[in-house]
Structure formats: C-alpha cells, structure tokens
Amino acid sequence: MKLEFFEPSEAATVLKCSEAWLREGAAKGEFPHAVWGKGKIIFTSVHLKEIALLREVRSSGPSVQSVRMIGTRAQSRQKYS
C-alpha cells in the first residue's frame, strides 16, 4: 500500500483550494484527516480523494420530479404535455 502524507498547505495545492478552507473543514469535522502530536493536521492521499468526492457535483439536468408546479392549472397542463 502506497500512502502519501500531506500538510495542509501541500494538500491545498493538490486540491487547488485554500489552506484555510481545508483547515476549517477539518476542524468542523466535514473532511477526513489525521491529527498527530499536539494537534497537527495531516491529510493522506486517501483523505484527499475522499474530500474531492465529497465536493463532487453531478448534474443530470432537470427531471420531471424536480419541476415545481403551483396550483391546479399547472398540474392539469402537466397531464396533457
């Protein structure tokens, strides 16, 4: 198993984000990380992959279920479309 370790500044460079954003996410428990010694935050290559996947946005376009209709006229028009 090849596991790489990154300090927050190095991890931010890899993820193309700010170091502050990474540190804040780790402090809030939003991002996986390790803590060594006296509170030193360390990210592994696995952590970086997980963070990237957590922030991934997939768009498949609007679906019929996501269309919001208000009132009975809109609902009846949808039936005949």
pLDDT digits (tens, 9 = 90+) for 18-60: 999 999 999 999 999 999 999 999 999 999 999 999 998 887 7
In a domain, residue 35? The reply is yes
Give yes or no for a contact between 50 and 8, defined as CB atoms under 8 angstroms apart.
no
**How many structural domains is the chain composed of?**
1
In a domain, residue 71? The reply is no
pLDDT digits (tens, 9 = 90+) for 15-24: 999 999 999 9
pLDDT digits (tens, 9 = 90+) for 59-68: 776 655 555 5
Write down the pTM of the prediction.
0.68
CATH number at residue 10: 1.10.1660
Contacts with 78 (C-beta within 8 Å, 6 or more apart), sequence order: 67, 69
**Residues spanned by the domain of 25:** 1-57
C-alpha to C-alpha distance for 81 and 74, rounded to whole angstroms: 11
In a domain, residue 73? The reply is no
